[in-house]
Amino acid sequence: MRHTLRLAGIGALLALGVSACDSNKLTTINQDPNNPTSAPPGPVFTNAARVAVARWLGAGAMDLRGPEFTTQHLAEVQYPDEDAYRRVGPADTDGSFIGAYSAELKNLQAVIDVTKANGQPLLWGPATVLRSLVFSYITDVWGDVPYSQALQGDATSAVISPAYDRQQDIYAAIFQALDSAANAMTAPANPASLGKADPFYAGNALKWQKFANSIRARLAMPPSPRPEG
């Protein structure tokens, strides 16, 4: 009798263990919930916008204040490193150059890849416009830079060492990208938008179209002639 009860108990435990085993949980047990491999497009766009504005229009080395010292439009007395050309070397500018690709541009490209595949022009359109603006800053500062093969490090056919494109080709590609984005945001079939995740225009398609056209107009302006002497 005791032997029979013991076998029955073991059988019950085995049955309980089999029923409690979830094969789905076994495959996800090593996934860290604090380090996700993907994220919704909205927060990714918000972060890219924040970083881009801080880098190019904020208080960083690449904002308007920095180039004003480099071009001698302004001068400093206490900290004259910029207007003495002591901060134009690779050690000072490399972080901004690489950082723009690995931060805001990479995030914007991720938004474009996901939402373009899902047919959401009111998401990939603004991301394309903002990416174009950042690339215009990059090529204006450094001239020939990676563009056509850039941001493909984790693609199926990964490009680890992208080629440097000529500035005139980058400008032509930016015009095409802005035109494509502006047209796609005109009466889109999919109304999904960035909404509150868009810190600029709250997903307003018309305002993003105007912004795209304003960038095109600015880039189409010929450069100012350099003073002689």
Q: CA-CA distance, 167 to 147, in Å (whole number)?
A: 9
Token digits of residue 5: 């009860």
Phi/psi for 61 (5° steps) reads -70, -25
Give yes or no for residue 13 having a pLDDT over 60. Answer: no
The reply to whether 157 falls in a domain is yes
The reply to whether 138 falls in a domain is yes
The reply to whether 15 falls in a domain is no
The reply to whether 18 falls in a domain is no
Taking only Cα atoms into account, the Rg of the chain, rounded to an integer number of angstroms, comes to 26
State how many domains the chain has.
Answer: 1
Name the pLDDT band for 168 (thresholds 50, 70, 90): very high
Name the pLDDT band for 71 (thresholds 50, 70, 90): low
The reply to whether 46 falls in a domain is yes
* pTM of the predicted structure, to 2 decimals: 0.78
The reply to whether 12 falls in a domain is no
pLDDT of residue 22: 60
Give yes or no for residue 31 having a pLDDT over 90. Answer: no
Read off the CATH number of the domain in which 72 is found.
1.25.40.390
The reply to whether 48 falls in a domain is yes
The reply to whether 19 falls in a domain is no
What domain range is 151 assigned to?
38-219
